[in-house]
Amino acid sequence: MEISDLKSNLYAGRKKESVELFISALDSGIDVIELYKLFAKILNEWECDYELDPLCIWKEHVMSSIVRTCIECAYPYVIKAKMPDMDLTCAVFCPQEEEHELGLRMS
């Protein structure tokens, strides 16, 4: 899978193509953690200048929704990769007014 393909599909809001690329990469044996890191890199590179493009916030929400769908589709791969002897509980906190949960889902 080419990072540029996933990035261009995400940036264009093409959900079907993005999910298909993601699942195809998982099926080909690419580690789910590596794909999560790739998503983090792509999302962190996104630049939003609200003054120049008032719709960029909404584009970011579309991308986040696509990534969320991919993460949910990856659940069977996550369970397969999970260490069998791990029995941990944790609490995760966010800064005030930060409502994005994608980072938490990918941890």
pLDDT in tens, 67-88: 999 999 998 888 887 766 667 7
**Confidence at residue 1, expressed as pLDDT on a 0 to 100 scale:** 61
23 neighbors 73 (Cβ within 8 angstroms) = yes
Q: Which of 61, 68, 62, 66 is nearest to 105 (CA)?
A: 68
Name the pTM for this structure: 0.77
Q: Is the pLDDT of residue 63 over 70?
A: yes
Average pLDDT, the chain: 83
Q: Band of the pLDDT at 97, cuts 50, 70, 90?
A: low
Residue type, 47: E
Q: Which of 26, 22, 36 is nearest to 80 (CA)?
A: 26
| Percent of the chain whose pLDDT exceeds 90 | 31
